[in-house]
Amino acid sequence: MSRHRALLCAVSGLALALAGCVSPSTPPNAVAPWKPPEASMKPDEVWTSLRAQTNDLSKSLSLAEIADIALQNHPATRKAWRDARASAAVAEQVQGRFLPTVSVTAGGDRQKTAADTNSFDRDVTTYGPGLQVNYLILNFGGGRKAAVEQALQTVYALNFSFNRAIQDVLLAAETAYYGLVSAQAGAEAALASVKDAKAALDAAGESLRAGLGTELDVLQAQASYDRASYGLAGAEGFVLAARGALAQAMGFPADVAVQVAPP
């Protein structure tokens, strides 16, 4: 009867120990968003995995391609992903306290005693293996279970931080993309203004030579042309700054030339 009670206690302790072990879910890689478990919150289907593409910067990139490259290349997503993976490893380490540990040892010893010439020598050899098994049967107080729960909640928190890092990178890439598109449109408008001002300056010069205009008209047209040229130089500078901001948002140095396709 006592053996049956001991077996029942052992089985109950094993069930309690395994009840505290829950495998933490982590992102599979540095570009796929983490999906929280249904036990913690409702599933969120907003984010989907983006296909891996070659970082070919010689062609004009669309917004989707820029976002994909930014997620793969930006250090913020890689750091957040590695933090989540490290936290998952810590959680698994804490869960290991519920698992059995086995220690196997083996040793040997040989001793030789030399006497005087009238006696005999003595050789003694001793050896033997050793086995030790430790296993948690009862967890009083719930300290280890609480440690596992704390580690799991840390994994969840860092996984949400990983999702936030993805959103921040996507927002930065999208903002920089439209900033470059807007700057390029401004440069095109400035170039059109320069062409119009140059045409007006040429027309004022022809009118002056034909006796139909005045020198004041030519000077005013020249001033308009100079202002348009100055505006074009500023617009081209804005394009360079916007292109550098987009390169940084994608995780590249600011001097990398990134070409974008219109939306």
d(CA 113, CA 104): 31
Of 3-7, 32-36, 120-124, 203-207, give the lowest mean pLDDT range.
Answer: 3-7
What are 206's two structure tokens? 């022809």
- Alpha helices, DSSP H, located in the chain: 2-19, 63-73, 75-95, 143-209, 215-249
pLDDT at 30: 59
User: Is the pLDDT assigned to residue 198 strictly greater than 70?
Assistant: yes
Both tokens of 150, joined, read 């704390």
179-208: average pLDDT: 91
Alpha-carbon torsion, ordered 87, 93, 94, 95, to 10 deg: 110
- Please name the amino acid found at residue 70: A
At 68-83, the pLDDT tens digits run 888 887 888 888 888 8
* Amino acid in position 50: L
| Long-range contacts of the stretch 11-14 (C-beta < 8 A, 24+) | 13/136, 13/137, 13/138, 13/139, 14/137
pLDDT above 60 for 185: yes
The residue with greater pLDDT, 227 or 5, is: 227
Percentage, residues of the chain above pLDDT 70: 69
Q: Which has more pLDDT, 94 or 66?
A: 66
Q: Per mean pLDDT, which of 55-69, 113-127, 222-236 is the most reliable?
A: 222-236
State the pLDDT at residue 53.
Answer: 40
Q: Would the pLDDT of 114 be above 70? A: no
**Each residue's pLDDT tens digit, 98-110:** 667 777 888 777 7
Residue 46: which pLDDT band, with cuts at 50, 70 and 90? very low
Q: Check pLDDT > 90 for residue 177.
A: yes
CA distance 59 to 134: 62
Q: Tell me which residue of 226, 252, 253, 83 sits closest to 164, measured CA to CA.
A: 83
Q: Whole-model pTM above 0.75? A: no
Q: Which residues pair with 89 in a beta bridge?
A: none
Band (pLDDT 50/70/90 cuts) for residue 217 is confident
The predicted-structure confidence for 229-261, as pLDDT tens digits, reads as follows: 999 989 988 998 999 899 888 888 777 788 888
Pick the more confident residue, 16 or 25.
Answer: 25
